[in-house]
Amino acid sequence: FHSLILFGGLVAVATILYRRIMGVTWVGGLAALLFGIDDAHGFPASFLANRNALLATIFGILALLIHDSWRRQNWRPGIYLGPAALALGLLSAEAAVATGAYLVAHALFLDQGRRTEKLLCLLPYGMVTMIWWAIYRSLGFGTGGLDFYLDPGAETLRFLAAIPERAPILLLTQVGFFPLNIYHLLDEGIIGAVRVSVLGMLILIGIGIFPLLRGDARARFW
């Protein structure tokens, strides 16, 4: 019950983010619906020990919302509250590190300030992340010796080597054609065939959305 309440809160803040970026349109509503019913969220919402992922994502989205209010609406408290929200996300789960990619995308495609100013605005988030990372490693957190979960900080070379194999599968799950949870159950032959199919499908998708990416800064942000 607790996890379902958190998941409801996650869907709510995600909906606010979609409306903030896309405007109050049916597109933002459809995005929120697809987010809410995505099968990838079933595990965090149902497995008690995975509540940390819900908390990390809630705080990560709050950091994005606060940062957007600061940069595009000149809401000055956002200077402090945005990094604070990111810190809470990182203290919930290391997955909150992914928030940094969205903050960089915001600076590149949505922030209307000067280039130097936009980069300086990201420094507080970078400092929070580095402080968290130093504490995280010094206390011995992280993983090691696992084939499925790779720590990019402790197993950098293995992590980089796994990107060509896993990135296409991860991208495909985002458009709903492949259930990620069964990936580690497949044998190597099936995985190879799936990988080739995925690359072809992603190329077709990329060709289809290129005009949208070229003409819409919001699409480039996503």
Would you state the pLDDT for residue 168?
75
Would you state the pLDDT for residue 183?
67
Would you state the pLDDT for residue 151?
84
Mean pLDDT by groups of 10 residues along the chain of 222 residues: 95 96 88 89 90 97 97 93 98 95 95 88 96 93 79 86 80 67 68 72 80 87 91
C-alpha–C-alpha distance, residues 161 and 166, integer Å: 9
Would you state the pLDDT for residue 176?
61
Would you state the pLDDT for residue 119?
87
Buried b or exposed e, range 175-208, using 16+ CB within 10 angstroms:
eeebeeeebeeeeeeeeeebbeebeebbeeeeee
